[in-house]
Amino acid sequence: MKKTSLDINLLMLSKDTIASIILFSIVSFFLGSCKLGVEENEQKGSESEVTDFKEVPQWSKEAIWYQIYVERFRNGDKTNDPRPEDIVEGYPGFVPESWTITPWTQDWYTEDPYFKDVEGKLDIAGDKMVHFNQISRLRRYGGDLQGVLDKVDYLDSLGINAIYFNPLNDAPTDHKFDARNWRHIDRNFGPDPSGDVQLIAEETPDNPATWVMTGADSLFLKLVDKLHKKGIKVIMDYSWNHTGLGFWAWKDLMKNQQNSKYKDWYWVKQFDDPDTPENEFAYDGWFGVKDLVQIKETKYIEHKGGSYIFDGNLASETVKQHIFNVATKWLDPNGDGDPSDGIDGYRLDVCAELPLGFWREFRKVVRSVNPDAYLVGETWFEVYPNSMMNPEPMLRGDVFDAVMNYRWFKAARELFTDKITPEAFTDSIKRITDNLSLDHNFAMMNVSASHDTPRLTTSLYNKESKYKYQVSPSKEFDYKIDKPDKEALQTTKLFLAHQFTYVGAPQIWQGDEMGMWGADMGDTRKPVIWPDYNFEDESVHPVGRERDPDEVKFNHDLFTYYQDLIALRKANPVLNTGRIEFLQLDGVSDVVAYRRFLDDDAMLIILNMANEPQNIPLVSQFWGKDYLGNAKMIEKKGVEMVQLPARSAAIFSNQNPNP
């Protein structure tokens, strides 16, 4: 299919052209002049059709993503909780004898009893452990797959239809990016950690013919089946860029040095000389992180000064084949050629730190197993903390279907925290979409928060802060960690009205729909606040400052708002694959207005960014009632207008909005 950009246009409207507005509205919304062309209609093929290699899966344009970080989602089985021996090879490189599981409902900033046995010690990088965010990385809460199984009905009631799981591979940390192995689900996520360890030990790691299904593997496939029966797609998160210190190939290399059959898997600077008393062994970790050991590419790229997309491949054919074998396992678990029992795609971590040649091969392998699989990459900063990467080289149909759309979120956050004008926001949107095809724009994962960023409401609450820069509490920066106020919640609702009506698939970070708050990692990774739990108030500040206690409680009003927006998006295909046109309103400031249009359907979205009510000079009789119930229709000098309260949104349709 020919590459076609979104063509985001500006429609200039003035009070002197009301007659033209009426004519435009009649023509556009009743006579169908806003129809997509033949080329765009062709991409609406049924889900049963086989997706062309270069095209994105149709379902990805209709996705409403929910991101799950299993260790902090829900503890459904206390018998599999992590033990000291399960976390020994993770950060900080040791486990204090007094270590225990952290109670789920404990005040987040309350120090665990074992903290006193850690403070002042050196971590694996040689840094003294003095900050809460260092020591708290030892915490485990016991979240597991049974906890997710127990809450499938909750997820279904929310309305989401796609889940992005943070890494599930066996690993010692809470985040699981430091894999012990890629081929199995984490031992503590399943029903029998000890039994799984024994099964894994009996395998030959680089020979898939010896691989078995562990208890955790089988439980994950049971979960996939249950989610699929609810109409919910599943993708897994993998980082092929690095492994942990406990990874079987790395341990062999450490033992056998240059005689290891895996010596070409990693970036080793220098092997140990057995004839000297010193240990000269030196290696590269991802961005210098010692417990994330970097896989070797055909050429070395230094990313510390800035990241960029580059060509090349992995240096070792055997590590590449191992990756392909692991990916194939989860796409078609029983190997019968029918991928319906497997996952629906992958989220690829730090994808710009791996070469395009590898990713092109990876796509071929994945699509050969499941032609409808979705691949989404994590591209983020080009130069931290301001310049973001242009993902276009990865979105030409031969690498990924989409990326995590941090560029959209950065622009949107700047708009909703009053850092840029609506005009500047529109310019930003045009800049980040114009060089991408319609399909790739529709398939974008529009990230609002994640395990790597402050929670959405907290980010909007801290209006003066930058995005992803000094966004955690410290003695140098007065970042607000308390419960966001009513103004921040109102701005959150305004933001969400945009996210769920904008181009691309909206994403929810677990717990945001419940009203959770939290600063940058790891404060964004608090355990989820289920309504059947009684949580301690948050009253402790990590650097000893005074703070008023905050009640930690499920926000039912916000949850219902999410439900309503999800239902609205699912009921209106125009929000999935309709074009977008921004409307620039003459004589009205602090308003963002745009319409989505597809065939004979059209929707109008108005965002009042001002701190006072505004009258919007748009013809209202063609739109019926506001889906959100915020707008009031008034007549001023014979002209019908939309009156919107301060910091609120309205959504209209040319179809019946209230059937």
pLDDT tier for residue 306 given thresholds of 50, 70 and 90? confident
Q: Report the b/e string of 429-457 with b at 16+ CB within 10 A.
A: bbebbeebbbbbbbbbbbbbbbbbbbbbb
Res 363 pLDDT > 70: yes
Q: At 280, is the pLDDT very low, low, confident or very high (cuts 50, 70, 90)?
A: very high
Grouping H, G, I as helix, E, B as strand and the rest as coil, residue 265 is coil
Q: Is the pLDDT of residue 40 over 60?
A: no
The predicted model gives 141-151 an average pLDDT of 98
**Beta strands 402-403 and 374-377: pairing type?**
parallel
Please answer whether residues 604 and 652 qualify as being in contact, where contact means their C-beta atoms are separated by less than 8 angstroms. Answer: yes
pLDDT tens-digit map of 205-232: 999 999 999 999 999 999 999 999 999 9
For residue 57, give every residue at least 6 positions away whose Cβ sits within 8 Å of its Cβ, in sequence order, or none. Answer: 51, 344, 345, 372, 373, 374, 401, 443
For residue 346, the cross-strand partners are: 236, 375
Confidence of residue 172 (pLDDT cuts 50, 70, 90): very high
Where b means 16+ CB within 10 Å and e means fewer, 158-174 reads bbbbbbbbbbbbbbbbb
Q: Tell me the average pLDDT across 33-42.
A: 30
pLDDT at 623: 58
CA angle, 600 then 601 then 602, to 5°: 125
pLDDT top residue among 11 and 99: 99
What's the pLDDT at 7? 55
Q: Which of 133, 143, 128, 138 is nearest to 87 (CA)?
A: 138
Q: What is the mean pLDDT of residues 384-389?
A: 92
For 515-565, the pLDDT digits (tens) are 999 999 999 999 999 999 999 999 999 998 999 999 999 999 999 999 999
Position 288 scores a pLDDT of 86
Written as six digits, the tokens of 600 are 């004979």
The average confidence (pLDDT) of the chain is 91
- Of residues 289 and 104, more confidence is placed in 104
Please tell me the predicted confidence (pLDDT) of residue 302. 85
Decide if pLDDT at 640 tops 90. no
Cα 134 off chain centre by: 23
What is the C-alpha to C-alpha distance for residues 504 and 525, in angstroms, rounded to an integer? 25
Question: Counting every residue, how long is the chain?
Answer: 659
Least confident among 76-80, 101-105, 556-560, 585-589: 585-589
Q: What average pLDDT score do residues 245-267 get? A: 97
pLDDT for 367-379, tens place per residue?
Answer: 999 999 999 999 9
Share of the chain above pLDDT 70, in %: 91
Q: Which of 63, 42, 43, 1 is nearest to 345 (CA)?
A: 63
The pLDDT of 622-632, averaged and rounded, is 83
Do 425 and 415 touch, CB atoms closer than 8 A? yes
Q: Mean pLDDT across the stretch 35-62?
A: 64
What the block records as the tokens of 239 is 């980082």
Q: Rounded to the nearest 5°, which phi and psi values hold at 290?
A: -65, -25
The pLDDT, as a whole number, for residue 475 is 61
SS3 of 550, please?
Answer: strand
Give strand pairing partners of 603: 596, 653
> 156 — phi, psi (to 5°)?
-65, -40
Strand order in the sheet with 632-636: 614-616, 639-644, 632-636
Among 93, 225, 236, smallest CA distance to 163 is for 236
Tens of pLDDT, residues 557-597: 999 999 999 999 999 999 999 999 998 877 789 999 999 99
Q: What is the pLDDT of residue 639?
A: 75
Direct distance between the N- and C-terminal alpha carbons of the chain, in angstroms, rounded to an integer: 36
Confidence of residue 478 (pLDDT cuts 50, 70, 90): confident
Distances (CA, A) of 300 to 105, 158, 230, 294, 295: 45, 45, 45, 11, 10
> Does the structure show a pLDDT above 80 at 149?
yes
- How far from chain centre, in Å, is Cα 635? 44
Amino acid 464: pLDDT: 94
- Statement: residue 447 has pLDDT above 60: yes
Which pLDDT value is given to residue 22?
33
Q: How confident is the model at residue 633 (pLDDT cuts 50, 70, 90)?
A: confident
**pLDDT category, 622, cuts 50, 70, 90?**
low
Average pLDDT of 112-118? 97
Tell me, what's the pLDDT at 144? 98
Q: Would you report the helix, strand and coil content of the chain in percent, each value rounded to 5? A: 35, 15, 50
Higher pLDDT, 475 or 95: 95
How do 65-68 and 505-509 pair as beta strands? Answer: parallel
C-beta contacts of 585-589 below 8 A and 24+ residues apart = 585/13, 585/616, 585/617, 585/618, 586/12, 586/13, 586/14, 586/15, 587/14, 587/15, 587/617, 588/614, 588/615, 588/616, 588/617
Is the model's pLDDT at 35 over the cut of 60? Answer: no
What is the spatial distance between Cα 597 and Cα 408, in angstroms, rounded to a whole number?
20
- Decide which of 637 and 502 is more confident: 502
3-state secondary structure of 236: strand
* Over residues 49-70, mean pLDDT: 95
User: Residue 609: pLDDT above 70?
Assistant: yes
